[in-house]
Amino acid sequence: MIPFLHIGPFAIPTFGLMVACAMLTAYFVLRADLARRGIAAKNSGEAEALISFPCLAGFVGAKLYHLLESPAEFFADPVHLLFSPYGFAWFGGLLSGFAAFAFVAWRIIKHNAAAGRPVSLLSIFDAGSPAAALGYGIGRIGCLLSGDGDYGIATSLPWGMSFPNGLVPTVERVHPTPIYEFIAACAIAWWLWNIGAPGDSSTRAKNRATQQMDTRTNAIATSDRQPGEVFAAYLVLSGVARFLVEFIRINPRSFLGMSNAQNAAAVSVIAGAALWGWVRKKK
């Protein structure tokens, strides 16, 4: 594995490099989805805000959550652990990133309402779902390159890999779980992008005729999906993928014999299913 790229006197962490690639890719996907839904033009800067602020909050939340998981270890050497480039918890990043995304989305909703283009919070969550899925998958490649311990248990399968030079080295052949998650994330992102596509011109014309949409509502591209359906599908699918891969991960078990990430994934699936049921009932 290649934890660092050495360019002259500089050492560039491959994990950080892939996180940057994930952010850039997610930005372009989100910008395109916001534009096709009529929520924000590509040159509006809304996509930049929806990516940069949640990512920054996600880093901070992931670091703090990881530190608070082992408070005794943290208080024994707080300065070193706080500024260490290692040690981030997925669930902490998810919570803080989601909160920041919701706040920025709320600002966009206010801006659109003032401009006479009402849009719901769930519609913005729908637009962010394919970007979030794909960005997560690309970020996992950073875990693979750095060998940071996110690999799985030992395996005799032909695609098993060892990480002798990783940040958390192992000479055993283990499941390359970041690759599994990357493949799953790409498939989820592709499916979410397709089911969230606005309807064609005939569908929009039918919607306008049956729903008597006014001129302000016409500014927002319509879809056969109710707002929130794509986001609900993202919560369920990404939760299921993470829940399943944790069975072959080396993470320690806690509540009910499951890892912290597995518990969070279960909550994600339940929340997504509840949201899907509520949206479908409302429809």
pLDDT (mean) for 149-166: 92
The residue with greater pLDDT, 256 or 203, is: 256
Q: Count of domains in the chain?
A: 1
Measured distance CA(184)–CA(181) in Å, rounded: 5
Q: pLDDT tens for residues 174-201? A: 999 999 999 999 999 999 999 998 764 4
Question: How is the chain classified by DSSP, letter by letter?
Answer: --SEEEETTEEEEHHHHHHHHHHHHHHHHHHHHHHHTTSS-TTSSHHHHHHHHHHHHHHHHHHHHHHHHSHHHHHHSHHHHHT-S----HHHHHHHHHHHHHHHHHHHHHHHHHTT----HHHHHHHHHHHHHHHHHHHHHHHHHHT-S--BSB--STT-EEETTSSS-EEEEE--HHHHHHHHHHHHHHHHHHHTPPP-HHHHHHHHHHHT--TTGGGSPP-SSPTTHHHHHHHHHHHHHHHHHGGGB-PPP-GGG--HHHHHHHHHHHHHHHHHHHHHHH-
| Range(s) of the domain holding residue 257 | 4-282
Q: Which of 87-91, 95-99, 234-238, 255-259 has maximum average pLDDT?
A: 234-238
Q: Provide the pLDDT confidence category of residue 127 given band limits of 50, 70 and 90.
A: very high
Q: pLDDT tens for residues 195-211? A: 998 764 444 444 444 43
User: Tell me, what's the pLDDT at 60?
Assistant: 87
User: Tell me, what's the pLDDT at 204?
Assistant: 43
Taking the CB of residue 169, how many other CB atoms lie within 10 A of it?
13
Structure tokens at 187: 């498939």
Backbone angles phi, psi at 280, to 5 degrees: -65, -35
Q: Provide the pLDDT confidence category of residue 224 given band limits of 50, 70 and 90.
A: low
To the nearest whole number, what is the mean pLDDT of the chain?
A: 85
pLDDT exceeds cutoff 90 at 89: no
pLDDT exceeds cutoff 60 at 222: no
The residue with greater pLDDT, 95 or 81, is: 95
The residue with greater pLDDT, 237 or 208, is: 237
pLDDT exceeds cutoff 50 at 61: yes
Exposure string over 190-199, b if 16+ CB within 10 A, otherwise e: ebbbebbebe
Q: pLDDT tens for residues 92-102? A: 787 898 899 99
Q: pLDDT tens for residues 16-52? A: 899 899 999 999 999 999 999 989 888 888 899 999 9
User: Tell me, what's the pLDDT at 85?
Assistant: 64
Q: What is the pTM of this model?
A: 0.83
The residue with greater pLDDT, 99 or 83, is: 99
